[in-house]
Amino acid sequence: MLKRLTNLLTLKRRSREKQPEIGSTPADVVHRENKWRLLHYRPRTEGPAYKTPILLVPSLINRHYVLDLMPGRSFAEWLVGQGHDVYCIDWGTPTGEDRYLTFDDVCETYLGRAVRKVARSSETGKTHLLGYCLGGTLTTIYAAKHQEYLAGHIALAAPINFHDDGLLSRWTRTETFDVDKLVEANGNVPWQLMQGAFHLLRPTMNLSKAVYLVDRAWDDQFLDGFVAKETWANDNVSFPGEAYRRYIDELYIGNKLIAGEFALGGTPVRLEDIENPTLVLAFEHDHIVPADSAAVLVDEISSDDKEVMRLPGGHVGAVVSRKAAEHLWPIIGQWLADRDGRSTPVARAEAAE
Amino acid sequence: MIWDLWKKSFYAWENATADYLEEVLKNPLVLGPSGAVLNGMMKLKAKKQEATTKWWSSMGLPTKHDQERALHALNKLESRLLDMEEELWELKQQKNQEQAAAE
């Protein structure tokens, strides 16, 4: 009881004095372009145990370090420890000129280059691709068009069917919501606006978090994780304007991805073209991406090796919590390991074609 | 004990309130006017920007949009150069392979 009280009273000082070690898994920047960077986590000392690397693709509007939160709570660190060769995209912070950045620029040019770079670095000439949240929508669209570099694809809480019963879907389809005016006035869509919208998804969340904090305040490890998670949650980035316009217009309002009417680089994106091994992960208490909206991907693709898993947990907690380390991460690790030997080795030059 | 009991009732209240607020926030009677207010604010912001831009360009100075367009063009150029670098790399690999096959 006393420890709980002391910890609560010193929480502010604690977070100021002891900055959380966010995104601290050692990594090298192997490519830079505009604001985004491709990070390569340094493999464990004995070297990677698997032939096929994995590229992690986070959402455009959150910092990449959600997948590398802090030592002991880092998915990237865990994957490295398991012997995987891990890469991650850090989308960086868009500035004024990025209002003209299109969805094609992000998905075809930037993500495409990252995939090719990682695939060429491996002896199989292929890579696994894991997309989280909007990152999963991007990887799904990419996977439907470019399977030549992919050994497997994992869509983690990725929205695919945008006409669901969730609040975000309802809001964007409100007749009075005009995405063009929003982009014209702001250029990049301000993170404050989006964060406000996310808070409204569950307005009582902060109260609930406060009670949970008081309840677990005796646990130093929990407090460190809490501070790290809150640091991440309040460290958002704005959405490049043109990309946002298309994201809302064609995906949220038009639901064109599932209808097969979405196009990338001028050619249609058909989910049934995805033939690579695919794992779809959806979370039952996800308020941002309802489980059904994510799970539907498995019904749309024509891969022989496909699986959908509905797991308990919310959009963020299920990926970075201590429970994630016990449940979710081993599922992903095993899935990757099982498919490592199955990827057909191709010559690097062939992969480059 | 009392804490546990309080917690239970708090979470029950929190769940019920969150569900109720979700229904409110889904209601077209709330969404319609909220969207209209947001639109009004955005229109006002755009008008203010337009006025600033006109004043700025009347002095013969490049506007924020001019600078953004120029910087974006530079970024596009960088991407095109990187595309070409990749293509060159591929051609080199192909040539090396052909040479190796010929030997």
A204 within domain boundaries: yes
The segments of chain A whose pLDDT lies below 50 read: 342-353
Task: Give me the amino acid identity at A127.
Answer: T
pTM attached to this predicted model: 0.91
B69 vs A100: CB contact, 8 Å cut-off?
Answer: yes
**Distances in Å between the alpha carbon of A238 and those of A189, A235, B99?**
5, 10, 49
Range of the structural domain that residue A183 is part of:
1-338
**Distances in Å between the alpha carbon of B14 and those of A204, A207, A312, B6, B30?**
6, 8, 19, 12, 21
Contacts of A109 in chain B (CB under 8 A): 79, 83
Other Cβ atoms closer than 10 A to A312:
11
Predicted local distance difference test score (pLDDT) of residue A22? 86
- For chain B, count helices (H), then strands (E): 3, 0
Of the residues B22, B52, B80, the best mutation for testing chain A's interface (the one with the most A CB atoms within 10 Å of its CB) is B22
Do B57 and B15 share a domain, yes or no? yes
* A241-278: pLDDT as tens digits: 999 999 999 999 999 999 999 999 999 999 999 999 99
Whether A179 contacts A258, CB under 8 Å: no
Domain total in chain A: 1
Predicted local distance difference test score (pLDDT) of residue A341? 61
Which among A105, A205, A352 has the least Cβ separation from residue B90? A352
Do B68 and B39 share a domain, yes or no? no
How many angstroms separate the CA atoms of A249 and A308, rounded? Answer: 28
* B55-73: pLDDT as tens digits: 988 988 889 999 999 999 9
**Distances in Å between the alpha carbon of B22 and those of A288, B54, B74?**
13, 43, 45
Contacts of A177 in chain B (CB under 8 A): 31, 35, 38-39
Predicted local distance difference test score (pLDDT) of residue A349? 35
How many angstroms separate the CA atoms of A162 and A249, rounded? Answer: 11
Range of the structural domain that residue B93 is part of:
62-102
Predicted local distance difference test score (pLDDT) of residue A17? 73
Q: What is the ipTM of this complex?
A: 0.88
A349 within domain boundaries: no
Of the residues B23, B84, B86, the best mutation for testing chain A's interface (the one with the most A CB atoms within 10 Å of its CB) is B86
Domain total in chain B: 2
A351 within domain boundaries: no
Predicted local distance difference test score (pLDDT) of residue A194? 92
The CATH number of residue A65's host domain is 3.40.50.1820
